[in-house]
A and B are shown apart, each in its own frame.
Chain A
Amino acid sequence: NAGVTQTPKFQVLKTGQSMTLQCAQDMNHNSMYWYRQDPGMGLRLIYYSASEGTTDKGEVPNGYNVSRLNKREFSLRLESAAPSQTSVYFCASRFPSTDTQYFGPGTRLTVL
């Protein structure tokens, strides 16, 4: 039981490049989330998916797109990366009966 996994662990991009961050969970949870964390700050919600086939914007969605590929996988895409998107990105899934969220190890993204 791996919980929430994220790939890649580290990534360096040049301004304008695109990439997709992958997230998968094996806990059969319906809800999944993408957050970003800037240095010294708390996490901020980018997008979330309450169930397969649905996605909703969070607090900071600009510059990102998401895809809920199936119940297990929720990907985050940067179409044209900007230095302001340099951050650590965390994916999470939610256990419904307690509202507990389980987080992945994060992807550290640097945009030059």
Chain B
Amino acid sequence: DAKTTQPNSMESNEEEPVHLPCNHSTISGTDYIHWYRQLPSQGPEYVIHGLTSNVNNRMASLAIAEDRKSSTLILHRATLRDAAVYYCILIVGAQKLVFGQGTRLTINP
């Protein structure tokens, strides 16, 4: 399965933007990039996904590099409720999600 690399942890302040990076240098042309997050003691929650173009939704934005070897999840104005583990995942073939260890995001008040 295609691999992604994320920093183990990041920290930011409330009401500031947060940029969460992900490297996926072995991505193939048809792999979609998905982001999920997991709040404490909850199941993972879908955040956003994209293929080539940058994407926006009510939760976040996804910026995809032109060569698609990396992407960045952008939370425009972080709140305390955004503290979670964020997973960057490539969807391959049989639609199975392969989770890495993700990035633990801490938001300081």
Contacts and interface: CB of A to CB of B under 8 A. Distances in A.
Given A41-B101, A42-B101, A43-B99, A98 B49 contact: yes
B49 A45 contact: no
Contacts of A62: none
Contact of A101 (B32, B97, B102): B97
A67 B91 CA distance: 25
From DSSP, what is the main secondary structure of chain B's interface residues? loop
A106 B38 CA distance: 12
A56 to B, nearest CB: 8
Contacts, number: 55
Contacts of A100: 34, 46, 49
A50 B43 contact: no
B101 A104 contact: no
Contacts of A99: 32, 34, 49, 91, 95
B45 A103 contact: yes
Q: Lowest 5 CB-CB distances: which A-B pairs, in order?
A: A103-B43, A42-B99, A43-B99, A100-B46, A99-B91
A42 B5 CA distance: 13
